[in-house]
Amino acid sequence: MRIDPLEYLRPGTRGEALALLAEHGAEARVLGGGTDLVARMKLGIVSPKVAVDLGDIAELRGIREDAEGLTIGAGTPLHAVAQSPAVVSRYPSLATAAASVASFQIRNRGTLAGNVCLETMCWFYNQSRQWKKSRPLCHKAGGEPCHVVNQPSVCYATYRGDTAVALMALGAQAEVQSQGQERRLPLEELFTGEGKSPLALAATEMITAFRIPAPPVASGNAYRKVSHRQAVDYPQAGVAAAVVLAPGGGTCVAARIVLGAVGPCPVRAREAEALLQGQEITGEVLERAAQAAVAVARPVNNMTFGAPSYRRKMVRVLGLKALVAAVEQARQGHSQGDDR
């Protein structure tokens, strides 16, 4: 097996890390917890010349709460996110999503930004270098066609992260920095919608934090997923829902429904959201919205387990469960917005 040379760099500050990314550009990869990148390097899927390890940069970790919402450092371990009292009480969808990632050991190592920036996956692409030698390269690996759907110049690899789905439903923003520049963008704009290059980040940029707005009064949020195994597994489908109810808890003022693992990026079900806004919340209304969410699901047969038809059906099931849980939370006044 060929082992490609790798220069390992471990900066001590954010400024040093940004300088290294500016210096090495596309030859470098950011290394957070390493639970995704290292696994792909071992298979020979990617072979960066430089790894910039952010593990020593304390300013990239931590959860800070204020009147405007919550700021979570990009390097905060998933376990810390899942166990944070502020996250659990105000943003249970994110706590559930973080707690559902892989195993305790991986959550203790893996970071929030690492899970959000998870590479898209496909049974054909996520194979070893030796396996790929026996057949033409797919489009994501540098070839021409997508072998899964037999289409040229397109990649249908699937995004299978959990936390980005919850963050998007919460209206979160990502703080992105490069040397000398900083920008904040809604999480929806972090994703390109393309399986081959899923993130709208330059090679010299890195995410430094996520900003989640304070939940409104009478609001609730929830995340539900299904996977082949009950633990240590990626989602076959995931749905996050966030709702805001009018005083009295009867009418929906605003809603967000986001799907994961059914396309190359997390995707909002905007038509389903529109069906809820201004409506008296009943079981029938929630069922219609969950069914409408299926329309934006675009799964293909690129998972070892989980046929596209099954994943589409589960979008409706998971969507209804997430909506019911979010509405119940909003009606019970569990949102911290009621106390602030």
pLDDT at 55: 97
Cβ within 8 Å of residue 244, ≥6 positions away: 216, 218, 219, 252, 253, 254, 255, 330
Pairing of strands 7-9, 50-53: parallel
Burial (CB count <10 Å: 0-12, 13-18, 19+), residue 340: exposed
- Long-range Cβ contact pairs of 127-131 (< 8 A, separation 24 or more): 127/43, 127/45, 128/43, 128/44, 129/1, 129/2, 129/43, 129/44, 129/45, 130/1, 130/44
Q: What is the pLDDT of residue 211?
A: 98
Residue 319: its pLDDT value, please?
A: 98
Residue type, 156: Y
Q: Minimal CA–CA distance to 88: which of 331, 329, 306?
A: 329
Return the beta strands (E) in the chain as ranges.
7-9, 28-31, 50-53, 63-66, 69-73, 145-146, 151-152, 173-178, 181-186, 206-213, 219-226, 237-245, 252-260, 267-268
pLDDT at position 230: 81
Confidence band, pLDDT 50/70/90 cuts, at residue 338: very low
Tell me which residue of 80, 102, 130, 122 sits closest to 35, measured CA to CA.
102
More confident residue, 3 or 237: 237
Residues forming CATH 3.30.390.50 domain(s) in the chain: 61-116+159-333
| Mean pLDDT on 141-163 | 93
> Which residues make up the CATH 3.30.43.10 domain(s) of the chain?
1-57
CATH of domain 61-116+159-333: 3.30.390.50
Looking at domain 1-57, its CATH class is alpha beta
Number of Cα atoms under 13 Å in the Cβ half of residue 311: 27
User: Residues 46-86: pLDDT tens digits?
Assistant: 999 999 999 999 999 999 999 999 999 999 999 999 999 99
Please provide the average confidence, as pLDDT, over all residues in the chain: 95
pTM here is 0.95
